[in-house]
């Protein structure tokens, strides 16, 4: 099995080297944040001529470093004792949230001209919003994800269709590669959800209604690719006879699941009115295996899972991704048509539809119609499950197969 290089994140990290900011590596737990820093980034620094004794790594979840958890001053002194001279040192602090008052330590380290600081932490006490807010203008976030399909395929290789079936079921959490059987993979993912991610949320927010958290996550997992909002989720609970739950609690629990990187929220954007629609939204899981594990590997509709994987890939590539809405008048009625994804990066914009196939003229018209209603000239794309060569419709819409899209980082510019 081949090692996955995580080049997209490594290159982003390299681009931020010595930029005077704290590099904050965030993302769902067990997605490879620590591995990115050591050995991948460390090996890069060594290849660039940095002396190994100028790369300082402190793993605060080790027993030998537990003495610093309640003594920030002693820990700060320890860090400074490791700085040997005025040459640049690279400081990697793993699980920094374990140190009480770590924010003050990091604030002080920002003033050291010969110190480049990198930190990671678990989600229970160290979400990205915490640290970026604390160091507004001085914190630089790199958000990691579990393996993309191309990363997963680079490790397992072989038949693409077989790889797709595995990926769409079990996702891309890195340690899955060491699980040999379907039973082992299923157990690993279920344990991650209950013993790591949910435990983080409960510990952080002192949640008492674990049953509600569990049910909300089930609702999100069942509605991938569908519109939802806190009121809709709340109404679901009320219909089941739940009397003690408030809409504010539902709203808070939804935000906890999102802040912990289990799901991402995609907002709807009115393309003609050029404004965001406040509600409802779509929620996508950051990893397909976690989504499927939450539903005990039921409800695996390939069209919804494929849409989720396309969304994740676009986010990984660095695009801002919204759900597009175009309103038209038909038979004196206002009708909203939807474009799966509107992707922006700088002056680039793409409109993308996800479809399992275009096997009939009616299906081709159905998927093309919303794209043809857009009045600008940015690229319009339909991604299908079929393994086909890219081609253009008569109206100029690019149609490509899922493998061409996922395995070619420049696929949108074909």
Dist. CA 319–CA 409, nearest whole Å: 12
Same domain, 152 and 123: no
Residue 2 lies in a domain: no
Same domain, 116 and 248: no
Dist. CA 156–CA 367, nearest whole Å: 33
Same domain, 160 and 112: no
Beta-sheet pairing, 115-120 with 22-26: parallel
CATH of the domain at 92: 3.40.50.300
3-class secondary-structure state, position 318: coil
Q: Using DSSP, how many helices (H) and how many strands (E) does the chain show?
A: 17, 14
Of 128, 143, 158, the one marking the end of a domain is 143
Domain hosting residue 233, numbered range:
148-414
Query: Which one, of 74, 71, 70, 108, lies nearest residue 91 by Cα?
Result: 108
Same domain, 313 and 282: yes
Dist. CA 218–CA 28, nearest whole Å: 18
Of 127, 143, 159, the one marking the end of a domain is 143
Domain tally for the chain?
Answer: 2
pTM: 0.93
Dist. CA 115–CA 232, nearest whole Å: 49
Residue 208: the pLDDT is: 87
> Which tokens sit at 276?
């965001």
Q: Give the CA dihedral 293, 294, 300, 305, nearest 10 degrees.
A: -90
Residue 274 lies in a domain: yes
Dist. CA 251–CA 205, nearest whole Å: 14
SS (H, E, C) 349-404: EEEEEEECCCCCHHHHHHHHHHHHCCCCCCEEEEEECCCCCCEECCCCCEEEEHHH
pLDDT one digit per residue (tens) for the chain, 414 residues:
678 999 999 999 999 999 999 998 988 989 999 999 999 999 999 999 999 999 999 999 999 999 999 999 999 999 999 998 999 999 999 988 889 988 889 989 999 999 999 998 765 556 555 666 666 667 888 999 999 999 999 999 999 999 999 999 999 999 999 999 999 999 999 999 999 999 989 988 999 899 999 999 999 999 998 999 999 999 999 898 888 899 999 999 999 999 889 999 999 999 988 999 988 999 999 999 999 999 999 888 999 999 999 999 999 999 999 999 998 777 778 888 999 999 999 999 999 999 999 988 889 989 999 999 998 999 999 999 998 999 999 999 999 999 999 999 999 998
């Amino acid at each position: 099995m081949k090692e996955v290089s995580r080049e997209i994140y490594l290159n982003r990290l390299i681009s931020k080297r010595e930029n005077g900011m704290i590099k904050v590596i965030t993302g769902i737990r067990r997605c490879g944040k620590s591995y990115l820093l050591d050995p991948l980034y460390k090996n890069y620094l060594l290849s660039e001529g940095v002396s190994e004794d100028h790369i300082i790594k402190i793993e605060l979840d080790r027993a030998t470093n537990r003495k610093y958890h309640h003594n920030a001053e002693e820990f700060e002194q320890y860090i400074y004792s490791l700085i040997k001279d005025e040459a640049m040192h690279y400081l990697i602090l793993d699980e920094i949230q374990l140190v009480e008052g770590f924010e003050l330590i990091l604030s002080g380290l920002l003033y050291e001209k010969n110190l480049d600081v990198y930190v990671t932490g678990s989600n229970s006490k160290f979400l990205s919003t915490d640290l970026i807010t604390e160091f507004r203008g001085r914190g630089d976030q790199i958000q990691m994800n579990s393996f993309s399909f191309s990363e997963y395929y680079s490790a397992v290789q072989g038949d693409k269709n077989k790889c797709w079936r595995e990926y769409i079921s079990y996702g891309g959490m890195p340690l899955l590669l060491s699980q040999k059987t379907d039973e082992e993979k299923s157990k690993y993912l279920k344990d991650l959800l209950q013993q790591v991610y949910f435990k983080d949320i409960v510990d952080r927010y002192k949640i008492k209604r674990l049953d509600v958290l569990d049910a909300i996550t089930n609702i999100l997992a069942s509605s991938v690719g569908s519109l939802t909002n806190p009121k809709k989720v709340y109404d679901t609970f009320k219909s089941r006879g739940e009397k003690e739950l408030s809409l504010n609690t539902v709203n808070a629990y939804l935000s906890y699941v999102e802040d912990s990187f289990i799901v991402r929220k995609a907002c709807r954007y009115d393309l003609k009115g050029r404004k965001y629609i406040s509600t409802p939204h779509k929620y996508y899981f950051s990893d397909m295996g976690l989504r499927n594990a939450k539903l005990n590997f039921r409800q695996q509709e390939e069209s919804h899972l494929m849409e989720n994987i396309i969304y994740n890939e676009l986010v990984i590539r660095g695009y801002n991704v919204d759900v597009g809405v175009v309103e038209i008048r038909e038979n004196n009625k206002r009708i909203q048509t939807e474009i799966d994804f509107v992707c922006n990066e700088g002056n680039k914009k793409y409109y993308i539809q996800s479809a399992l196939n275009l096997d009939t003229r009616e299906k081709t018209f159905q998927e093309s119609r919303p794209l043809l209603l857009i009045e600008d000239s940015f690229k319009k794309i339909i991604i299908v499950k079929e393994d086909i060569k890219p081609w253009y419709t008569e109206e100029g819409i690019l149609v490509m197969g899922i493998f061409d899209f996922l395995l070619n980082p420049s696929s949108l510019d074909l």
